[in-house]
Every structure is written in C-alpha cells, then in structure tokens.
Amino acid sequence: MSDLQAFKYGILIAAAAAVYFLPSIIARVKGLRSSIYLINLFFGWTVLGWLIAFSMALSEAYERQCPTCAALIDRRAIACPYCRKPLLGVGSVGARLNKAAGPVQN
C-alpha cells in the first residue's frame, strides 16, 4: 500500500467517524445533555439509534425560560438580560463555566 492510499484511507476513516459522531458534535456545540452522546456511542451503529440521537440533538432548544420573568433566554446565560436576575440553577451552563474558570482578573 502506498503512502497516498494510506492517506486516502485515513481521510475516509476520519470522515466516517465525523459522520458517526455528528449527533454528539451537535449536542456538544449546543451544550446539551450527555444522554445524546451515550445513545450515539452505544446505539449509533444501528441506523435507528443514530437517527434517534440525531433528532434529539436537533430538537433540543438553544433557549430556556427565565424562572423569574418567564422570558426565553440563551440556555448558557448566567443572568437574565430582561429582569437582570442571576441564573444560578443547576441548568445554568454559564454558572458552571464561570465557577470552573475561577475569579475574573482585570
């Protein structure tokens, strides 16, 4: 096997892996539940499992409801832009990211 053929096979394998894990990639970008990743990992080899994970990743919303004013806001927000109340609930991805990043230094 020549180097060019090996390179082509490597590209083909990488593209196949990207397509296989496409639902997980979409879920990761959207900051969604890890259950999509698990369904994709264990049942993605079946067409039905892959379609279920893909539809779950596409159907999940980017927005959530503010518990104070009920406005639709970005699910990663740490404070509501309308009522200015902090969102410190379990579902606040932004709060977890800020906690992991540590204090802000100026």
Q: pLDDT per residue over 65-97, tens digit each?
A: 888 888 888 777 888 888 888 887 645 455 555
Torsions phi, psi for 65 (to 5 deg): -95, 135
Is pTM beyond 0.85? Reply is no
Count of domains for the chain: 2
45 and 5 fall within a common domain:
yes
Q: Are residues 13 and 49 in the same domain?
A: yes
Does residue 46 share a domain with residue 68? no
Residues 49 and 7 in one domain: yes
- Structural domain boundaries, residue 53: 1-60
Among the listed residues 59, 62, 61, 64, the one whose alpha carbon sits nearest the alpha carbon of residue 23:
59
In the three-class reduction of DSSP (H, G, I as helix; E, B as strand; rest coil), residue 79 is classed as: strand
The answer to whether the beta carbons of residues 59 and 80 sit under 8 Å apart is no
End position of a domain, from candidates 60, 75, 96: 60
Give me 24's structure tokens: 């997980």
**Residue 90 pLDDT:** 47
State pLDDT tens for residues 2-53.
888 999 999 999 999 999 999 999 888 877 767 888 999 999 889 999 999 9
| Angstrom distance (rounded) from CA 69 to CA 66 | 6
